[in-house]
Structure 1
Amino acid sequence: MTDQTSPQRLAKLSWRERIGYGLGDAGFNFYWAIIGSYLIFFYTDIFGISAAAAATMVTITKIVDAFTDPAMGAIADKTNTRWGKFRPYLLFGTLPMMGAGLLTMTTPDLGEGGKLLWAYATYMILMLTYTVLNMPYNSLSAVLTADAQERNTLNSTRFFFAYFTGIIVGAATPDLAEYFGGGDRYSPIGWQITMSIYAVVASILFVIAFATTKERIAPPADQKSEPLRDLKVLLTCKPWIIIFILAMVIMTTFTLRGSSATYYFKYFVERPDLLGTFVGLQVLGLMIGAMSASTLTRYVEKVRLLMVLMGIVSVLCFIFAFVPKPQALGVVDVNDAERTELAASELLAEEHQAGDTYRWTRYEKVFWIIKDRVELDNTSATLALEGLDNQTISVIKTRGDGSTLDSAAIPQEIIWMFILSILISLALGPKAPITWAMYADVADYNEWKTGRRATGMTFAATTFSQKMGSAAGSALMLSVLAALGYQANQAQSNASLDGIVYMQTLAPGAFAFIAIIALMFYDLTGDKLEAIQKELAAKNPE
């Protein structure tokens, strides 16, 4: 690795290197997207852990895991190999992380206490192995180049791939789990096989990221490793403290939206068949927003831009809370043991009239997520559910006057849910590439101010705050469910339904508003950053 006097400090990166680095984050999101969107649901509704126990487990394990970040940052800063400080971890940490992912999605037949112990152990190992790879990967973005706009472009590219993977995982996971579970989306084996596929693909992408990147910026040659001193510097650094708070708050927003979506569509909307599409489009909005970041920051200073975007998120989340529950069920997943028949009026919100006839249908997989509607042998106003367990049912009504009404048509309320969610995601999308560029700016700022460069510790302390935010979001979601009487795979009380709705809408909006307040105190902006880079270049002439 070259030292910081190299003429490559302000290197313009090739698209090969940008894409190679971005594919690394695609690999991480084969894990993170399933953790963020489905793991809590997996624990409560598939593995069979209570919401209260899962809340405690997720909170404790994530807090413990968060404290491993500074330790990993110190280890990475002390690492010196012919491949650099950070790249080697992408090569040697892949297999342990793959094994941890498979164990986390494994559901041994244990008692309640045994299940909880298994969840604690496997989830903690998964997050530890994730830290060993992810913390050095994040730090790598700060040592590829010191050019500010190049960093914006690099991080936009990175998050394009990250969110693209999120779309795949968000949209495909329920159907893949159902496919590999033999037609049962709640089958544990289906989830484990799905995770196995994700883990193999992720490992290949990590190796590609290792092979296509080059570290160009190193600490001063005479700098000694002093982790405690570097941590003390961070704790007195105003810009870092602000982005620490910002990262924690915004990650809480992301976690609440992701983890509550599954419950929102299963219990409030009562259309779990739309969950994959909802999550997929949500992540598509994030991806498009991330792609726009490098362009937007050419015209609007990034801190001011973030404040505007978080304001938009807050307002849209408030509006989202007022979208009512659809009047008709539309499509029903048959998984309620107590329900023996289904009335067409429940699906259509229209009572039976003389002369009305019905065509009941079930959804049958043709290939993977491609489905076909197969008619059932029933033309009456009710359908007996015997033998239709785990089937997705809808009905087409032909009125006496010849007009038709299809329960599978998307109600206006759901259309508004999709529109608002996509708009929120578009506004949230630029946050990730912008804030990651800000973390690299803080590493430069501390080098300028103290003469020491601790890239690993800077990013580790920041990912610590993100994990704390993720823990807070998960704990808040599960604690609210537990407090309001949530029971898995049963009809929910009005209080429980209200809690699910607020976790998807009002709570993320409130945290977005808090992010605006934090940004008001951040002053490491354009002119100041430009002056810092000039002084660093003067101290270390090329």
Structure 2
Amino acid sequence: MNTRKLSVLEKVGFGAGDMSINVMVAALFYLISFFYTDIFGLNPTHMGILFLVARFVDAFTDPMMGLITDRFKSKKGRFRPYFAYLALPYGLSMALLFTTPDMDYNAKLIWAYATYLFATLMFTGVAIPYISYIGVLTSDPQERLSANGYRMFFAKIANVVIVASVPVLAEWWGGEDLQEGYMFAMGLMSGIGVLLLWFCYGTTRERVEHKVNPQPLGTQIKYLLKNDQWLVLAGCCLLGTFGYAIRGSVALYYAKYYLGGDAAMASMFTSSGIAASIVSMVASTWITKRFCKIKLFSWSQILVGLMSLGMFFLVGPGDVVMAFTLYVLLSFVVDLHAPVFWSAIAEAVDYGHIKDGQRVSGLSFGGISFCQKAGGGLAGLAGGLLLTFFDYQPNVQQTEFTLTGLALMLTIIPGAFHAALGFLLFKYKITDRFYQKMVAESSVIQTKSPDVA
């Protein structure tokens, strides 16, 4: 079996896995804040604290899941079985997340904590094995990049479908009862997510085998923190996710209140940005065949900062056409880096393996997942506090001060974090040429062709 080349079906299957995971991602990045404040009825500050508490839980569960994938391997593989066994509880957790019980406020707050934490635990159970999966699908950097291109394309399709359809379906099915409408709409999407995980399980295989030495957590953390290139990517993940999550969480508010749109227009505004990022996935794959992927990664994020500044000053309340145009352009540039980032993680793991003679794979990917969720959690806390600071009140006419705050949260605030990411990436050195030379000069990275079904 060739350990390097992947069939189109396998790339599609790999992408289907991320499509399933991004049902949850879209819910957490784009819908949950709006749902909690305007539908479920949570105080924005209480919501922000919930998001932060969940990230403290992730601080333990993400590394633990990484250790589990490092220590245990079944006949079906090291990562792949989780897609089959955890699919149903993962889908259930998404459905419960958007269920509103008929209780008083304190009881509803407890319900929100219980269902949100359950959902994040199930997300960890499938996401950590999934983001680690690319390292065992192929050993070829270009094939990894191509597979991640498929992955990000399908992920963005999931985001578009969720954001464009769930608010509209909720209004259609629920009528005046949007709580019931969101429950039914997300229940449907959760079922589709389960089927997609099973499809990923059935169409992909683990081909590359790395020898993993069972080491204590403290030892693995020591080696991980010695990997300077992984640390750069971890910092980039924190900064980028914070910016991405702040912008994504406020997009529905911005469209509804700043632009004066209804549910359909708000969904269209948010999903148009995601659609632009789908085109960005294709463009990124084309560009990186001709230009340095790390320079693309860095300069695209610096440009996002400049474009965000321009959008704040150029778009006024109700300026729908200009807002759509600049938001689409901004979203296109933001995601030019995405396939590069996820392929870079596997290469940073190999870099650490060669540099220190020890492979810390599961914890490396688990750590990146934690950074991603930590960035999202901190953004959730910041978003809740900012909504409170800007005197946001759900389902009423907003003041000029509040509208300015929503505009800042969509543009300048996240743009500053993306620009910081771009400058940090100047410290990253694993280009394709560097990686190929590193592997050619080392006998550490070896691939096998195990009979893994």
Shorter-chain TM-score range: over 0.9
Corresponding position of 2:406: 500
Give distance in 2, aligned partners of 1:65 and 1:495: 35
Give distance in 1, aligned partners of 2:433 and 2:272: 37
Where in structure 2 are the equivalents of 1:346-495 lying within 5 Å?
Answer: 413-495=319-401
* Structure 1 residue 64 corresponds to structure 2 residue 57: yes
Are the equivalent residues in 2 in contact too, given 1:167–1:284 (CA < 8 A)? yes
Give distance in 1, aligned partners of 2:288 and 2:409: 31
Are the equivalent residues in 2 in contact too, given 1:219–1:452 (CA < 8 A)? no
Point out the more displaced range, 155-164 or 210-219: 210-219
Corresponding position of 1:198: 189
Give distance in 2, aligned partners of 1:233 and 1:290: 33
Which of 198, 201, 219 is matched with 1:210 structurally? 201
Are the equivalent residues in 1 in contact too, given 2:223–2:358 (CA < 8 A)? no
Corresponding position of 1:370: none
Tell me, what secondary structure is at the counterpart of 2:219?
helix
* Structure 1 residue 274 corresponds to structure 2 residue 180: no
Where in structure 2 are the equivalents of 1:73-152 lying within 5 Å?
Answer: 73-152=66-145
Corresponding position of 1:523: 429
Where in structure 2 are the equivalents of 1:44-59 lying within 5 Å?
Answer: 44-59=37-52
Corresponding position of 1:254: 244
Which of 5, 14, 20 is matched with 1:21 structurally? 14
- Give how far 1:453 is off: 2.3
CA offsets, 1:342-369, max 9 Å, x none? Answer: xxxxxxxxxxxxxxxxxxxxxxxxxxxx
Corresponding position of 1:179: 172
Q: Give me the TM-score of the superposition, normalised by structure 1.
A: 0.80
Identity of aligned residues (%): 30
Structure with more relative contact order (C-alpha pairs < 8 Å, separation 6 or more): 2
Give distance in 2, aligned partners of 1:318 and 1:437: 30
Are the equivalent residues in 2 in contact too, given 1:152–1:293 (CA < 8 A)? no
Corresponding position of 1:263: 253
Q: 1:31 is aligned with what amino acid?
A: M
Give distance in 1, aligned partners of 2:17 and 2:10: 11
Q: 2:371 is aligned with what amino acid?
A: S
- Give how far 1:119 is off: 0.6
Are the equivalent residues in 2 in contact too, given 1:73–1:459 (CA < 8 A)? yes
Q: 1:498 is aligned with what amino acid?
A: T
- Give how far 1:536 is off: 4.1
Corresponding position of 1:366: none
- Give how far 1:96 is off: 1.0
Are the equivalent residues in 2 in contact too, given 1:67–1:464 (CA < 8 A)? no
Corresponding position of 2:219: 229
Give distance in 1, aligned partners of 2:323 and 2:99: 33
What are structure 1's unaligned runs of at least 5 residues? Answer: 1-6, 328-412
- Give how far 1:540 is off: 4.0
CA offsets, 1:177-203, max 9 Å, x none? Answer: 11110x33x611110011111111111
- Give how far 1:138 is off: 0.6
Which of 165, 174, 180 is matched with 2:158 structurally? 165
Give distance in 1, aligned partners of 2:61 and 2:5: 33
CA offsets, 1:263-297, max 9 Å, x none? Answer: 11122111134111111111111111112222211
Give distance in 2, aligned partners of 1:72 and 1:541: 24
CA offsets, 1:113-134, max 9 Å, x none? Answer: 1111111111001000000001
Are the equivalent residues in 2 in contact too, given 1:288–1:429 (CA < 8 A)? no
Q: CA RMSD in A?
A: 1.6
Are the equivalent residues in 1 in contact too, given 2:84–2:197 (CA < 8 A)? yes
Aligned residues: 447
Corresponding position of 1:359: none
Are the equivalent residues in 1 in contact too, given 2:45–2:381 (CA < 8 A)? no
Give distance in 2, aligned partners of 1:253 and 1:430: 15
Greater share of residues in helix? 2
Compared CA separation, residues 36 and 246, structure 1 to 2 (3 A): same
Q: 2:201 is aligned with what amino acid?
A: F
Give distance in 2, aligned partners of 1:456 and 1:486: 41
Are the equivalent residues in 2 in contact too, given 1:40–1:54 (CA < 8 A)? yes
Are the equivalent residues in 2 in contact too, given 1:63–1:471 (CA < 8 A)? no
Are the equivalent residues in 1 in contact too, given 2:251–2:270 (CA < 8 A)? yes
Are the equivalent residues in 2 in contact too, given 1:63–1:467 (CA < 8 A)? no
* Structure 1 residue 43 corresponds to structure 2 residue 36: yes
Corresponding position of 2:451: none
Q: 2:191 is aligned with what amino acid?
A: V
Compared CA separation, residues 249 and 171, structure 1 to 2 (3 A): same
Compared CA separation, residues 17 and 490, structure 1 to 2 (3 A): same
- Give how far 1:24 is off: 0.7
Give distance in 1, aligned partners of 2:367 and 2:445: 27
Give distance in 2, aligned partners of 1:453 and 1:140: 15
What are structure 2's unaligned runs of at least 5 residues? Answer: 449-453
Corresponding position of 1:535: 441
Tell me, what secondary structure is at the counterpart of 1:520?
helix
Give distance in 1, aligned partners of 2:113 and 2:273: 29
Point out the more displaced range, 249-258 or 272-281: 272-281
Q: 1:137 is aligned with what amino acid?
A: Y
Compared CA separation, residues 509 and 82, structure 1 to 2 (3 A): same
* Structure 1 residue 12 corresponds to structure 2 residue 11: no
- Give how far 1:525 is off: 2.0
Compared CA separation, residues 432 and 526, structure 1 to 2 (3 A): same
CA offsets, 1:483-517, max 9 Å, x none? Answer: 22221112222222211110001111111110112
Tell me, what secondary structure is at the counterpart of 2:441?
helix
- Give how far 1:539 is off: 6.5
Compared CA separation, residues 524 and 164, structure 1 to 2 (3 A): same
